[in-house]
Amino acid sequence: MNQPPGVELLLAPNPSLMTGSGTNTFLVADHAAGCVAIDPGPDEDGHIARIIAAAEPHGGLRAILITHGHPDHLEGAASLRERSRAPILAFSREGSPTADATLADEQLVIVGTRRLRALHTPGHRFDHLCFLLEDSRALFAGDLVAGEGTVVIAPPEGDLLDYMASLRRLQALDLALILPAHGPLIDAPAVLLHDYLTHRELREEQILAELAQGPHTVDALVTPIYAEVDPRLHPLAAQSVTAHLLKLEREGRATHDESTPPVWRLSGRGAPA
């Protein structure tokens, strides 16, 4: 599916295991009324130059929007600001130290006659924003979802309880299109969001089933749950399992001791009857 009118995708040259084919930088324009860039990506001269060139027919860049402060989204922002004079806008300077101003949840960014609504959607990271292009019901989703595969939730920056709440918030928006920061566009948002939530719920059931057999370390949980996954990816799987365990702990369903590594067990509402 193509981008909405006035939206241009510029793929950054930073492919990797974590970024897929690279970071998607998006321009949102209203004819010659200027445009904004969402996630300028890495500090790579050629990519920054392409953003500047793509913005020129629309009257230049008016703002640089950051979905969250991970380097593959933020790193090029300062260079792009220097060359365009456009301010950097993000949820917080704690998450994005180079930001010139911060955006609150539900705050509007005006691009000519178009409106982008900032949505605070923590989970992948505490400072995560999505941007809803209201006239197209199109969501620039950052790393809340991906065009391919799933998203890593890595504590302490990532929080699975918040992440699940953010996914459910998006379910209520009647989206027509999701434009993620990595991978292809998503033309069936309701299906993808349902699948993302179901995937996390099934993983949680697996963890609870293992803990019902007795206390486990994180590594001892990863081994059976991710038995069919390449062992080279098990460190990432361990981050995901840890995120699930911390969610269960916040809900009063699991607890851990102070050993090294910690041993996790069911407690309270998580314990079998």
* Alpha carbon distance 13, 195 (integer Å): 29
| DSSP H or E stretch at residue 266 | strand 264-266
**Residues known to be catalytic:** 72
Q: Are strands 114-120 and 129-133 parallel, antiparallel or unpaired?
A: antiparallel
What is the Cα–Cα distance from 139 to 154, expressed in whole angstroms? 23
Rg over CA atoms, the chain: 20
Residue type (1 letter), 224: P
Contacts from 53-56 at CB under 8 Å and sequence distance 24+? 54/8, 54/10, 54/27, 55/27, 55/29, 55/84
Cα 2 to Cα 165: distance, rounded to the nearest angstrom = 29
Beta bridge partner(s), residue 142: 180
| CA dist., res. 247 & res. 159, Å (int) | 7
User: In angstroms, rounded to a whole number, what is the distance separating the alpha carbons of residues 77 and 200?
Assistant: 32
Structure tokens at 242: 């840890």
